[in-house]
Amino acid sequence: MRAWVSVAAFFGGVMLLTGACATSEQWAEWRSHTTHFASGTHGMFSLRNNNDGSNPKVSRTDIEAARQENWWGKAITVSPEQIFQN
């Protein structure tokens, strides 16, 4: 009985550690990325940059326009009344 408990504890520990490592790796991968910005990675910028090779400047208006193009419809979001009182 004691041996069975030890084996179970061993495998339980291995599974826990494996799970923890996977989460750490996933976290490290996300954290190491520096391009999380959705609109900033939009094709518009790279197309514009590649066409004339001059790396034209990007303005906030360009970014807003890219955001509009990426728009997937109205997202369900909590209403302010569920968080605040005015």
In the complex, which residues of this chain contact other proteins (CB under 8 A)? 22-23, 26-27, 29-31, 33-41, 45, 49, 55-61, 63-65, 67-68, 72-86
Spatial separation of the C-alpha atoms in residues 63 and 85, rounded to whole Å? 32
d(CA 35, CA 39): 10
Name the one residue in this structure whose structure tokens are 């550690």.
17
The answer to whether 55 and 47 have CB atoms below 8 angstroms apart is no
Least Cβ distance, residue 37 to other proteins (angstroms): 4
Q: How far is the CB of 28 from other proteins (least distance, A)?
A: 8
Identity of the residue, 5 or 54, whose beta carbon is nearer to other proteins in the bound complex: 54
To other proteins, the closest distance from the beta carbon of 14 in angstroms equals 20
